[in-house]
Amino acid sequence: MDRRQFLRASVALLATTLLVTPFSRFAVAAATAPIALGAYISGMPDNSLALHQFTTMVGVAPSVVMWYQDCGPIPALMSRA
C-alpha cells in the first residue's frame, strides 16, 4: 500500500466514524431510555377487572392509569349567570 492509498483509506475511515458515531449514540440512548406504557381502558376506574384483563393481554401493567370525568356545573359560576 503506497502513501496515497493509505491516506485515502484513513480519510474514508475517519469520515465513516464521524458519520456513524452520532447515530450510534442516539440508538444507545433510545434503547436504554425508559418507556412508560399507557392505554385507554374502557370502564376504568369503576371496573378494575378491565385493568387486569388489559395487563394479562399485553403482558405489562400500565405505569399510570388516568381518566377524565365530568364534574358537573361549578356552583360559583352558575350563581353569576
pLDDT tens for 24-77 read 666 666 666 677 788 888 788 888 898 889 889 989 888 887 777 777 766 665
pLDDT of residue 33: 65
Backbone angles phi, psi at 11, to 5 degrees: -65, -40
Looking at residue 56, what is its pLDDT? 92
Q: Whole-model pTM? A: 0.44
- Number of residues that this document lists for the chain: 81
Question: Which pLDDT belongs to residue 14?
Answer: 66
CA atoms within 13 A on the CB side of 36: 4
Each domain of the chain, given as residue ranges in start order, spans: 1-33, 35-81
> Coil, helix or strand for 35?
coil
C-alpha cell at 7: 491516506
Comparison of pLDDT for 13 and 30, the residue scoring more: 13
